[in-house]
Amino acid sequence: MATEITNAATVSKPNSAVTRPLKPLTRAYVTFLAGDGDYVKGVVGLMKGLRKVRSKYPLVVAVLPDVPKEHSKILADQGCIVREIEAVSLPEKYQNQFARAYYAINYSKIRIWGFVEYSKMIYLDGDVQVYDNIDDLFDLPDGHFYAVMDCLCYAYNQRCPDALQWPEAELGPPPAIYFNAGMFVLEPSLSTYRDLIRTLEITPPTPFAEQDFLNIYFRDTYHPIPPIYNLVIAMLWRHPEFVELERVKVVHYCYAGSKPWRYTGKEENMDRDDIKMLVKKWWNIYNDESLDYKNYVCSTGGGSYRACEPANLLTSPIRGWRPSLRNGPIGHLDPF
C-alpha cells in the first residue's frame, strides 16, 4: 500500500510489507491518539510546544483507525508524521478489569516498539506539554527504559495509605519503584515488540492497564530520571516538597479537570493559582499562530531551518542529509 504525504507529514497504514526509509531517521518524539474526541487539541498543543522549544526531532503520532481523517489532516497540517496503527487486541480476561474503562485502549501504545526505523524515541501522552527542550534525553545510554517515578497516593499504597492494592497474589511483589507511563524513553525493536505482545497474553489484568504492564515488563531495565521531565500535575498538592516548578520541563495534565482544553476550574483542586498558571501557559502556546507549521517554517529563514520547507524533512538528525520529495515519502508501513 502506498504511503500518503499530507504536506510535511507521513501517513502510514498497516501492511504486511515493510518499506524502509531512504535513510535512517534515528530519533523522534512519539505520541498516541484514539477516537474522535478532543484529544487532538492536546496533540496539536504538544507539536507546537516542541516547536517552541526548538526540538531537533519530529513528532510521530500513532493513530488508531477510529481517528477521523479530519483530525489526521489537522495533525499533518501541523507538521506531524501521522501513522495509522491497529488497536492491540486484549485477552478476554481483560474485560472490565480497569480503574477506568477507557484505560484499555492504551495498550495500543505497545505498537510503537515496532517503529524500528527509529533507534530511539521519546513517548509523550497527548495531555503533556513541553516547556523546555528535552532533546538531551535522546543521549541517555542505551539499554535502559527511562521514565519518571510516579506518585502512588491513589495507586497501590506505596507512598500514602490510600486506595488500590497491587495484585500481589497474581503478579508477585510490586516493582520496587513505579513509573508514570505518560512519558518515557524507549528503543524500538521488533523482538521487544513481539515479546510485549506475547507477555500481554499471559499477564493478569491490572487496574492501571498499560502503565502497570510496562512497569512489570521493564522492572529490570527501568532507570528513573528527574521529576522535571514529567510533572504529574497532582504532585503540586500531594507532594509539593518534590516540585521545583521553575525548573520543570514537562507538565502532564493528567488529573481530572486539568486538561487545558476542557478546563473550567470547578473540579477538585483546579482553582489553585499554580494550576491556573499552567493552564494559561498551555493556551499561550496553543493559540500562538507563529508556532503553526505553515507560519513557522516560513518565518525562520537564516535560522536552523530553510524557509518554507517541510519541517519533518529538515529536522533529520543525520547531518548533511536532505531527502527530496521527488524520491518518494520518508517513513515506512507498519510491520505488524
Gap between the Cα atoms of 77 and 82, Å rounded? 10
Gap between the Cα atoms of 336 and 334, Å rounded? 6
* 276 included as an active-site residue: no
Gap between the Cα atoms of 185 and 86, Å rounded? 22
**Which residues sit opposite 118 in a β-bridge?**
26
Give the angle 311-71-256 at the CA atoms, nearest 5°.
105
Looking only at the bridges linking them, the beta strands covering 231-232 and 59-63 are: unpaired
58: CB partners within 8 A, 6+ apart: 25, 28, 29, 79, 80, 81, 311, 312, 315
Residue 124 backbone dihedrals phi, psi, to 5 degrees: -135, 130
Q: Confirm if 32 and 125 have CB atoms less than 8 A apart.
A: yes
322: left (phi over 0), alpha (psi -120 to 50) or beta: beta
Q: Which of 41, 48, 52, 109 is catalytic?
A: 109
C-alpha torsion sign, points 97, 102, 105, 106: negative
In SS3 terms, 144-177 reads as CEEEEECCCCCECCCCCCCCECCCHHHHCCCCCC
Q: What Å distances lie between residue 182 and 146, 147, 215, 252, CA to CA?
A: 12, 9, 12, 7
C-alpha torsion sign, points 153, 159, 160, 163: positive
Q: How many residues does the chain have?
A: 336
Residues designated catalytic: 109
